[in-house]
């Protein structure tokens, strides 16, 4: 089995959620194995999960934020109906007609369907060969590993590894892991418990209430559903560097860890504009604005006047004002040139392809991607992942 996973969020989460799944499908086909998506709906980070970002053609980011409710309950207890209509309307208002809008309307939340259940249903619809589950449904399958975590937690080995990685300049995702990170997870909230409290809960038959923290979750996931390979993003694989001793201590087989590929979606209009600006979607920093269309105005003559003013004593204030006007004039002439050529600004293209200076997949909501390109995007992502190397970046022209 090839496994990947992600927590749910408003709009389903970022685009890379679909890319992860597509990579797992591609790998499963190559190895003649099965693919599974593990939905980590026990996560309770509402700040991270309570919004969907839409990336507009001019690179502007429109954030659709939704109140998911009060309390500390995890995302599996938050209904998808709390955000679905808001995100659907935001796509309609900011993106216009989309070929995937009717498909998404058909994926509207059902009754009190939780965010995790909604995401699993969407995944099974887009990728029929993928089994999608919520982690909490498999708690009974990791009871032995959980008991070992309480009895044989490798505190010293984890501390030694953490210090070594920190000396190498690695980030510190978990802090000190002196004990197994566990929580009670129910509709009233998600609250941390000590190992002693966890043992007491286990003795009273409360296994279904215990939920692992991020440092323990991958190990219990592997104990519940042993897989040959796990497809993960850079953050997840970085986390694994800090928890490797847990596999041996908990007697769980370590899977092969495979870096997922990354994909930038490039609509036809964007590809054309990149070509016209002398660059490509793969290298957006190389995009350049067209030279100014001067329309009879000689910037060279302007520059000569500016030089003479700068050399004249007593005109420093005028020189600064002229220099500022020169900048504004050049920008305006460049805008006129783009208008004549029917081109967008290079900065807008760069912002569309690399919103916030990051890969597009980290910002753009998967809801937007499906709205604009439809459910047919899923098999196209699988095709890209099939020809991609682990960890490589690809572009997909649509």
- How many other CB atoms sit within 10 Å of the CB of residue 196? 10
Does the structure show a pLDDT above 70 at 342? no
Rounded CA-CA distance 46/255 in Å is: 30
Query: 54 and 33: one domain?
Result: yes
Q: Look at residue 77 in the predicted model and tell me its pLDDT.
A: 94
Question: In this structure, are residues 87 and 46 in contact, taking their beta carbons and an 8 Å threshold?
Answer: no
Closest of 153, 116, 156 to residue 133, by C-alpha = 116
Count of Cβ atoms closer than 10 Å to residue 184 Cβ: 17
Residue appearing with tokens 């965010």: 115
Asked whether the beta carbons of 366 and 104 are under 8 A apart, the reply is: no
Q: Is 30 inside a domain boundary? A: yes
- 262 shares a domain with 278: no
Q: What is the pLDDT of residue 338?
A: 65
Q: What pLDDT is recorded for position 330?
A: 76
Query: Do 38 and 77 fall within a single domain?
Result: yes
Tell me: do 172 and 86 sit in the same domain: yes
- Work out the burial of residue 91: count CB atoms within 10 Å of its CB; fewer than 13 is exposed, 13-18 middle, 19 or more buried: buried
Residues of the chain with pLDDT > 70, as a percent, come to 96
Task: Answer yes or no: is pLDDT of 301 > 80.
Answer: no
Grouping H, G, I as helix, E, B as strand and the rest as coil, residue 397 is: strand
Q: Is the pLDDT of residue 148 over 70?
A: yes
User: In this structure, is residue 354 part of a structural domain?
Assistant: no
Do residue 35 and residue 179 come from a single domain? yes
Whether the Cβ atoms of residue 218 and residue 169 lie closer than 8 Å to each other = no
Least confident range from 19-23, 84-88, 311-315, 377-381: namely: 311-315
What's the pLDDT at 85?
97
**Among 263, 366, 273, residue whose Cα is nearest residue 58:** 273
* Band of residue 383 on the pLDDT scale cut at 50, 70, 90: very high
For residues 237-242, give the mean pLDDT: 92
Strand, coil or helix: 398: coil
pLDDT of res. 99? 96
Do 339 and 262 fall into the same domain? no
Average pLDDT for residues 100-116, to the nearest whole number?
96
Residue 173 DSSP SS3: coil
Q: Could you tell me if 188 and 293 lie in one domain?
A: no
What was the pLDDT predicted at 300? Answer: 77
Final residue of a domain: which of 327, 349, 371? 349
For residues 338-350, give the mean pLDDT.
Answer: 78
pLDDT at 341: 67
Q: Where are the beta strands (DSSP E) in 234-355?
A: 256-259, 262-266
- How far from the centroid of its chain's Cα atoms is residue 59's Cα? 17
Tell whether the model's pLDDT for residue 225 goes beyond 80: yes
Say what percent of the chain tops pLDDT 90.
Answer: 74
Question: pTM of the prediction?
Answer: 0.88
Do residues 285 and 202 share a domain? Answer: no
In the chain, the number of structural domains is 2
Residue partners of 215: CB distance under 8 A and separation at least 6? 173, 174, 177, 181, 239, 242, 243, 246
Is residue 21 in some structural domain? Answer: yes
Average pLDDT on 166-194 reads: 93
**Of 326, 349, 372, the domain-final residue:** 349
Q: Are residues 377 and 305 in the same domain?
A: no
Query: What gap in Å lies between CA 178 and CA 193, rounded to an integer?
Result: 13
Q: What per-residue confidence (pLDDT) applies to 320?
A: 85
Express the helix, strand and coil content of the chain in percent, nearest 5 each.
Answer: 50, 15, 35
Mean pLDDT in residue range 94-102: 97
> Across residues 13-26, what is the average pLDDT?
98
Q: Is 300 found in the same domain as 235?
A: no
Q: Looking at the structure, tell me whether residues 214 and 165 fall in a common domain.
A: yes
pLDDT of residue 293: 58
Q: Looking at the structure, do residues 193 and 310 belong to the same domain, yes or no?
A: no
- The residue from 311, 331, 349 where one domain ends is 349
- Place 70 in a pLDDT band, splitting at 50, 70 and 90: confident
Can you tell me the mean pLDDT for 188-211?
A: 92
Report the pLDDT value the prediction gives residue 111, as an integer from 0 to 100: 86
Three-state DSSP state, 201: helix
Please write the tens of the pLDDT for every residue from 249-287. 999 999 999 999 999 999 999 999 898 888 889 988 888
Asked if 132 contacts 37 with a C-beta cutoff of 8 angstroms, the reply is: yes
Confidence category of residue 117, pLDDT binned at 50, 70, 90: very high
- Averaged over 136-160, what is the pLDDT? 94
**What's the whole-number mean pLDDT along residues 64-80?**
93
Report yes or no: 221 and 136 within 8 Å, Cβ to Cβ.
Answer: no
Average pLDDT of the residues of the chain: 92
Binned at pLDDT 50, 70 and 90, residue 52 comes out as very high
Structure-token pair, residue 79: 């209904």
161 found inside a domain: yes
Domain that holds residue 185: 1-267+359-398
Phi, psi (degrees; rounded to nearest 5) at 65: -100, 140
The CATH number given to whatever domain includes residue 379 is 3.40.50
Rg (CA), the chain: 26
Instruction: Please report the pLDDT score of residue 291 as a whole number.
Output: 62
Q: What are phi and psi of 83, to 5 degrees?
A: -125, -20
Average pLDDT over residues 152-164: 96
């Amino acid at each position: 089995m090839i496994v990947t996973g992600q927590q749910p969020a408003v709009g389903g989460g970022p685009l890379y959620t679909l890319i992860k799944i597509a990579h797992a499908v591609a790998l499963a086909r190559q190895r003649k194995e099965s693919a599974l998506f593990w939905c980590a709906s026990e996560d309770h980070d509402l700040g991270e999960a309570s919004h969907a970002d839409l990336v507009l053609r001019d690179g502007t980011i429109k954030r659709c934020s939704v109140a998911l409710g009060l309390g500390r309950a995890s995302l599996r207890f938050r209904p998808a109906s709390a955000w679905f209509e808001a995100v659907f309307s935001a796509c309609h208002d900011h993106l216009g007609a989309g070929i995937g809008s009717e498909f998404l309307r058909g994926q509207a939340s059902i009754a009190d369907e939780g965010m995790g259940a909604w995401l699993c249903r969407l995944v099974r619809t887009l990728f029929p060969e993928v089994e999608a589950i919520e982690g909490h449904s498999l708690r009974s399958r990791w009871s032995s590993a959980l008991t070992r975590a309480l009895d044989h937690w490798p505190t010293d080995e984890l501390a030694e590894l953490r210090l070594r990685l920190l000396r190498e300049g690695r980030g510190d995702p978990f802090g000190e892991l002196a004990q197994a990170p566990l929580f009670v997870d129910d509709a009233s909230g998600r609250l941390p418990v000590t190992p002693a409290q966890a043992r007491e809960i286990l003795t009273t038959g409360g296994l279904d209430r215990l939920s692992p923290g991020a440092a323990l979750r991958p190990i219990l996931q592997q104990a519940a559903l042993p897989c040959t390979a796990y497809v993960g993003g850079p953050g997840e694989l970085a986390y694994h560097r800090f928890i490797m001793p847990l596999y041996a201590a908990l007697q769980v087989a370590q899977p092969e860890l495979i870096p997922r590929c990354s994909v930038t979606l490039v609509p036809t209009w964007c590809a054309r504009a990149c070509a016209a600006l002398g660059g490509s979607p793969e290298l957006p920093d190389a995009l350049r604005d067209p030279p100014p269309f001067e329309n009879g105005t000689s910037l060279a003559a302007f520059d000569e006047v500016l030089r003479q003013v700068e050399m004249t004593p007593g005109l420093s204030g005028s020189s600064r004002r002229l220099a500022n006007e020169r900048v504004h004039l050049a920008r305006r002439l460049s805008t006129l040139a783009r208008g004549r050529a029917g081109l967008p600004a290079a900065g807008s293209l760069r912002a569309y392809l690399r919103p916030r200076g990051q890969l597009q997949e980290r910002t753009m909501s998967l809801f937007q991607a499906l709205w604009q390109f439809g459910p047919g995007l899923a098999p196209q992502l699988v095709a890209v992942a099939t020809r991609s190397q682990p960890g490589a970046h690809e572009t997909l022209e649509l």
